[in-house]
A and B are shown apart, each in its own frame.
Chain A
Amino acid sequence: MIKLGISAFYHDSAVALIINNKVITAVEEERFTGIKHDSSFPYNALSWLLKSNKLQLANINEIHWYESPEKKDNRVRTTFAKKPIRTFFLNRKYKKSKKSQNPKDILESMGYSGKIIYHDHHDSHASFAYYTSHFTDSAILTIDGVGEWETTTISIGTGKKIKKLISINFPNSLGMLYSTITAYLGFKPNEGEYKVMGLAPYGDINVYTDKLLSVFENTSNKYFIDQKPFTWEYSDKVMFSKNLYRLLGIQPRLPEEEINQDHKNLAAALQKVYEIQFTKLLKTAKNITKSKNICLSGGCAYNGVANTLAYNYFDSVYVPFAPSDAGSAIGACLDQHTETTPFLGPEYSDKEVKATLDSYKDRLIFFKLTEDKLIDKTSKLINGGNIVAWFQGKMEFGARALGNRSILANPRDPNMRERLNFVVKKREGFRPFAPAITEERYKQYFDTKEPSPYMGRVMNSKTSYIPSSTHIDGSCRVQTVSKEQNRKFHKLITKIGSYSSIPVVLNTSFNLKDQTITLDPEQAIERYISSQIDYLVINNFLIIKKV
């Protein structure tokens, strides 16, 4: 059975190929178009997927669409009907976009005449998390901005079955609230939430928490959000009204304005409020499922700080590698457990890399080394304070670079964070970097009982030796790396440990400001040449700029 999963038209459009329940390939459209969180139909990703697997659309048995356009249409129309005059132009815009976004029409125009199966948005999130976990029973909590109607769900997975137990519907949405305050703080929704999370530890939670909490009304199992301060039901320009300004008493920040203490305090309050509501949902999930395990999914599962709170109620916590809509392309196709890895994208042979390098001979010097020599040389370069772009094997699926499209550096160097933030990535100085550590040694340095292979959780550091990967509050968004998960990356970190006593490396995605993660060797070289990165490694090629 050949299944194709597609997610599109919200954000993070993606395609996935699943053959006999095995995930073969998956890739996001943004990597091909260079548009972050690209929401358009994934033509480029689909074209690559079919070509690389020597398939045509006619070979696909079933296409699984990650949500139900019919139910979504019902929600949008019902919402607009509440304020018909205010939403008149928006409604026209929606109707126009709806025509061009019909999955059946698009797929038919591409020559596909087979079966299309539609799934509920949050069911796709839940399936992706549960069926890629190692749990045979688990609570499943999904939270995002909005799907069709649902914004939050609690389900139970038992064996092959998932049963939904609780749904919270639009406009009550924790994801929307987080994005709204993200926008209020001058960051772009669906992108800037990481920044808000990073900013939160610099603020005082006491200033705005009560004000923000006052918009919530909680029943025993659900939350409701007073809509007066928000406009997400009827505006596609901004998400808040003057009532939010009246509630908070501070002006919204424009992106170019400086971040002051008020902004930090608001970020801290938002994170706190999210954690309070998230904790209530965790308690409910525990009470109604009685499971020892929990799977977290939906875009809000990228909130690694909150995810750690799940250990207060569950013994084991699983956050998949692409919990937002991209992962739903895989989730929509799954109806039973499968073992998979995040390394599902394009890879390039040495021959292809060499051909690309040859065309840059005037600007680069490169050597092909044996793997052992490359690992030894790279670990020495990193320990010596160099920044190395590391491009290996198949590209990661999901927002995190997990050691195949990464920029690596020495986290023990106290100046490295500043150098990377300001000089290389040209981004806000408060943003933290993740440490990647071998799975054998993580318990020694971090306060957690389970590995975190996809940077899904934030944990406290037990060491002061890695200042550039430790946030102001002593926390780290750790990636644990096992031999099975990524052999070469594991070998590199182990080697780094043999020279420095801690097998840990600073790992950040291989992209520069406002760019998507690097796709191919040519892009890698261009980015290397135009940046302050010291060395580039592609497969076993060590590459240096000519002076």
Chain B
Amino acid sequence: MIFNWIKKKIRKFKEERAFKAKLKELKKRDPFTYKNF
């Protein structure tokens, strides 16, 4: 059970890390946002 919990946490950590990397990449690109002012 603990093993599964750890596995789940590691998977979540890896996914969020991948998300952060993508976010960082997107921020580098041409404005990826709708201009609101």
Contacts and interface: CB of A to CB of B under 8 A. Distances in A.
Interface centre among B16, B19, B20, B35 (most CB of A within 10 A): B35
A239 interface: yes
A222 interface: no
A294 to B, nearest CB: 25
A292 B16 CA distance: 50
A252 interface: yes
Interface in A228-252: 232, 235-239, 242, 245, 251-252
Interface residues of B, number: 19
Contacts, number: 67
Nearest to A37: B35
Contact of A237 (B16, B20, B32): B32
Interface residues of A, number: 30
Nearest to A252: B22
A183 B33 contact: yes
Contact of B34 (A76, A145, A245, A252): A145
Contacts of B34: 145, 175-176, 179-180, 189-190, 232, 239
A368 interface: no
A245 B30 contact: no
A190 B23 contact: no
B33 A232 contact: yes
B16 A189 contact: no
Contacts of A190: 34-35
Interface centre among A39, A188, A237 (most CB of B within 10 A): A237
Interface string B14-26: 0110111011011
B28 to A, nearest CB: 9
A238 B35 contact: no
Interface in A73-114: 76, 94, 97
Interface in A1-59: 10-11, 39
A146 interface: yes
Given A188-B30, A252-B26, A254-B25, A236 B19 contact: no
Given A76-B37, A146-B36, A237 B31 contact: yes
A398 B26 CA distance: 29
B22 A236 contact: no
B19 A238 contact: no
A237 B33 CA distance: 6
A72 interface: yes
A195 B18 CA distance: 25
B19 A239 contact: no
Contacts of B36: 76, 145-146, 170, 176, 232, 236
A242 B19 CA distance: 7
Interface of B: 15-16, 18-20, 22-23, 25-27, 29-37
Nearest first, the 3 closest Cβ-Cβ pairs linking A and B are A179-B34, A237-B27, A189-B34
